[in-house]
Amino acid sequence: MSIEYPKLAAMNCHHRFYTLESFFASARNNGYDSVELWTGPQHFFMDYAQNDPVDCLRELEDRYGVKVIGICPEQTNPKPNNMAAAFPETQRRAFSYFSRAVDIACELGANQVVVTSGWAFLNEDADAAYERSVAMLRRLASYAGERDMNLAIEALQPSESVLANSAADLRRLLDDVAEPALKICLDTGAMARAGDTIEGYFDLFGSDVVHAHFVDVQMDEMDTHVAWGDGTRDMVADLRAFMEGGYRGILSVETVSGCYHADPAAADRRSMDAYRRALESL
C-alpha cells in the first residue's frame, strides 16, 4: 500500500518583480503542479469593487498544467483590507474585498481563502478590535459556507497584529466565531515565532487544519519565511508531524524574504529539492 505524502504548492509572493506568467512557468519547471495565488496587484489586481479577469488565471492553469488551489488576499497593515476595521465604510469595503476573494476562489475551484484576524491600532482598545474581527469573520465565514468554500485563518506575528499570534489565540477565535466554514491555516513561520508546534496545532484543531504555509525559519535572525534549506527547521520531522496529524491538505511554500526577489525560481527549486530529499527519508 503506497503512502500519500502532502504535496507542495508554490506561491508568488517573492516573484513580485517578475510577471505572473513567468511564475506559472517557474512552478511547472520546478515540479510544482499547484500554486497558491497571493493577490499582489502587480500579478492579479483585486479590491473591494473590481478584479482582473479570472479567465486569465484559467488560461495560465491550462497553459502550464498548474492548478490554483487557494487565494491569499493582501490584508496586513499597511494594506487597507482589515478584518478588524473600525468604521462602517471601511467595514463595508473589507467585507466586499474578502467576499470577492471567496467568489474568485469558487470560480477557480480552489480549496480555500486564507484570512487573518486583522489588526488593531496600537493606541486603541485591542479587545474592541478583537470583537470587530470576530463579527467580520462570522459574517464572512457564513458567506463562504453558503458557497461551500473554506476560510483558513492563520496566526500573525506580533509585529503584524496584537489580535491572534498563537495557536491558543486561534482556538479562541474559532470558538468565538462559531462558523463551520472557518478553518485553520498552519503557518510554520508564525508557529515558530509563537513557540508553538505542529503537533500542538493538531491537538487543538485536528481535521480543521485544512491548509498550511510551509516555510523554513532562520531562528537566529527570526526570519520566518525563508526557502527550505536556508533556515534551521527539519523538513523530515515537519512532514512526519503533518502526516501523523492526519493532514490531507497542500503545503504552500510562502517564501517572502526580499533576498529572493532577484531569482525567485531558484528559491522555489531549493525548496522542491529539499522536499524530494525529505521524501526519501520518510
Distance CA 157, CA 189 (A): 9
Please give the Cα distance from 261 to 180 (Å, whole number). 38
In this model, does residue 13 exceed pLDDT 90? Answer: yes
Enter the DSSP assignment of 89: H
In 3-state terms, what secondary structure has residue 60? helix
Q: How confident is the model at residue 219 (pLDDT cuts 50, 70, 90)?
A: confident
* DSSP classification of residue 44: S
- Both ends of the chain: CA-CA distance in Å? 15
Q: What is the pLDDT of residues 28-40, one digit of tens each?
A: 999 999 999 999 9
Name the pTM for this structure: 0.96
- Residue 232 Cα distances to 65, 83, 218, 238, 254, angstroms: 32, 32, 6, 12, 16
- How does pLDDT run across 71-95, given as a tens digit for each residue? 999 999 999 999 999 999 999 999 9
Q: Work out the percent of the chain whose per-residue pLDDT is above 70.
A: 99
- Residue partners of 93: CB distance under 8 A and separation at least 6: 48, 80, 81, 85
The pLDDT value given to residue 220 = 73
pLDDT, position 235? 97
What is the C-alpha to C-alpha distance for residues 150 and 171, in angstroms, rounded to an integer? 17
